Structure 1
Amino acid sequence: MENNHFFDLNYLKEMRVELTRFMMAYKFACDEINTKINILSDEFNYIHDYNPIEHVKSRIKSPESIFKKVQRKGYDFSLASIRENIRDIAGVRITCSFISDIYVLSEMLQNQGDIKVVEVKDYIKTPKPNGYQSLHMIVEIPIFMSDRTENTYVEIQIRTIAMDFWASLEHKIYYKYNKEIPGGLANELRNAALVAAELDRKMEWLHKEVSVIKEENSEDTGLAFLENGDIPAFLLKALSEYQKRIGHE
């Protein structure tokens, strides 16, 4: 009897360790993706004159939410089955300024060597029936632990501010009515999604027009410098800093 009891305690301890490792892998995966996004954001801030990243949020599904989804989908309750079939346990949402930013940022992330793209769903080009728009990617990244490497799935959602605004409020309304929205309200929500999409298109157009004007002004300014023989102040400052560094003041 005592041996069986001892075995049960060891088994429970092992299960607790495995469950902890299981959930930690997803936390670390979120941290990895967030680090990659922060690096891109810092690069945009320090080197480029425009940062497309507005907000970043991440979350890990709770064990209760995971098991409910497993039960709803009819998957096996083993950790191996959950790891393979439930691919949105770790989730990162990136909010961008403009629609074009979504695809630029998506390509940058997909081109990183340790990110394996498993699936892409473009709900911008093909919105969901309720009007929902976003770009979804399921990616797999390696998480290096003390005694193993866990290849872990992360769902990345990339959307504009307008898409995020609509999705957040739709979610609140959806759950307020216990997932049974009256037909009239559902139609109004779809119409609101169309309005948000039109706003995104208008802002995208304005963004491109401003970029064209800025580029033309930049070219004109550059020619003026050449004609007048003047050196821009920022170049003089950079040259001065360089000279100080090499000791040739």
Structure 2
Amino acid sequence: MVQLEQFKRFKEEITRFMMMYKFALDSLETKIDILKEEFQFLHDYNPIEHTNSRLKTPESILNKVFRKQCDISFSSIRSNIKDIAGLRITCSFVSDIYRISEMLRSQSDLNIIETKDYIKQPKPNGYQSLHLLVEVPVYMSDRHENVCVEVQIRTIAMDFWASLEHKIFYKYKQTVPLRLLQELKEAADSAAALDRQMERLHKEIAEIKENQEEEEIGSTKRIVIRNQEFQLPAALMELIDLGQSNE
């Protein structure tokens, strides 16, 4: 009977423990959805292609506890394992990565406790991504907890390379030959070059669009009669604006 009670208590504790991380992910994903909608409304552009969240399983957490030689306690796990909850954000362009990062930093109830920029300083194998450890407030029925979520922000090209690289290494049980490592690094360099090219094209197109919008605004202040342009007087434009505001 005592063992049954202990098992029930442990089951309740681990359930509450995992629920905290789930709620932290839910809260962060809601924030991201709001930012996406706001950005789309204000700028007619969405910097986020898609998001993907995951929770480590209790088995995976336990395996990492053994690898890191941590104490088997909930407080020790929270202190030593920071990637129990993970959120991956995929963007179109590198500039979007840092834009999303700044949006998260501006949230007053989030605390960025660590940043690892593998874009400015890629890993030796070519891996690129921006990693943030974010503390998210979670309000339970009887307490408030700050829960850590690992956020990875990367471009489509970075995500494509990382996914394939993981699959290759996951299936390869032995030491990967040096030739394959070099090819993977070259593929990562190619993906980075593609990102730079697409970023340049994106900026050039944005500049063209901005110039067109300025020309459209300027054209509204002119009239054309028999191929001759007439600039509308500023005083007349003020009267039109005044009349519209009084309607």
Same fold (TM over 0.5): yes
Are 2:160 and 1:177 equivalent residues in the alignment? no
Are 2:73 and 1:78 equivalent residues in the alignment? yes
Runs of 4+ in 1 over 6 A off after TM superposition: none
Q: 2:208 aligns with which of 206, 210, 213?
A: 213
Deviation at 1:179, TM superposition (A): 6.5
Deviation at 1:175, TM superposition (A): 0.5
Instruction: Give the partner amino acid of 2:168.
Output: I
* Partner Cα separation in structure 2 for residue 137 and residue 219 of structure 1: 38
Unaligned runs of at least 5 residues, structure 2: 224-231, 233-243
Deviation at 1:44, TM superposition (A): 2.2
Q: Deviations over 1:86-121 (max 9, x none)?
A: 000000000001000000110001110110111000
* Partner Cα separation in structure 1 for residue 113 and residue 62 of structure 2: 23
* Partner Cα separation in structure 2 for residue 30 and residue 181 of structure 1: 35
* Partner Cα separation in structure 1 for residue 217 and residue 63 of structure 2: 61
Deviation at 1:176, TM superposition (A): 1.1
Are 2:96 and 1:93 equivalent residues in the alignment? no
Deviation at 1:47, TM superposition (A): 2.7
Question: For residue 158 of structure 1, what is the aligned residue in structure 2?
Answer: 153
* Partner Cα separation in structure 2 for residue 167 and residue 87 of structure 1: 20
Question: For residue 64 of structure 2, what is the aligned residue in structure 1?
Answer: 69
* Partner Cα separation in structure 1 for residue 68 and residue 14 of structure 2: 21
Question: For residue 14 of structure 2, what is the aligned residue in structure 1?
Answer: 19
Q: State, as a whole percentage, how many aligned pairs show the same letter.
A: 59
* Partner Cα separation in structure 2 for residue 38 and residue 190 of structure 1: 34
**Where in structure 2 are the equivalents of 1:76-155 lying within 5 Å?**
76-155=71-150
**Where in structure 2 are the equivalents of 1:53-64 lying within 5 Å?**
53-64=48-59
Are 2:61 and 1:52 equivalent residues in the alignment? no
* Partner Cα separation in structure 2 for residue 8 and residue 149 of structure 1: 30
User: 3-state DSSP class of the match of 1:172?
Assistant: helix
TM-score (norm 2): 0.89
- Report if the CA contact (8 A) 1:162-1:200 is conserved: yes
User: 3-state DSSP class of the match of 1:47?
Assistant: helix
Q: Alpha carbons of 1:114 and 1:179: their partners in 2 closer, same or farther (altered >3 Å)?
A: farther
Q: Alpha carbons of 1:179 and 1:60: their partners in 2 closer, same or farther (altered >3 Å)?
A: farther
* Partner Cα separation in structure 2 for residue 199 and residue 179 of structure 1: 31
Instruction: Give the partner amino acid of 1:11.
Output: Q
- Report if the CA contact (8 A) 1:45-1:51 is conserved: yes
* Partner Cα separation in structure 1 for residue 8 and residue 169 of structure 2: 40
Deviation at 1:205, TM superposition (A): 0.5
User: 3-state DSSP class of the match of 1:147?
Assistant: coil
Question: For residue 240 of structure 2, what is the aligned residue in structure 1?
Answer: none
* Partner Cα separation in structure 1 for residue 136 and residue 124 of structure 2: 31
Q: 1:40 aligns with which of 35, 44, 55?
A: 35
* Count of residue correspondences: 228
Unaligned runs of at least 5 residues, structure 1: 230-239
* Partner Cα separation in structure 2 for residue 36 and residue 179 of structure 1: 42
Q: 1:30 aligns with which of 19, 25, 31?
A: 25
User: 3-state DSSP class of the match of 2:82?
Assistant: coil
Instruction: Give the partner amino acid of 1:177.
Output: Y
* Partner Cα separation in structure 2 for residue 159 and residue 98 of structure 1: 8
* Partner Cα separation in structure 2 for residue 200 and residue 114 of structure 1: 32
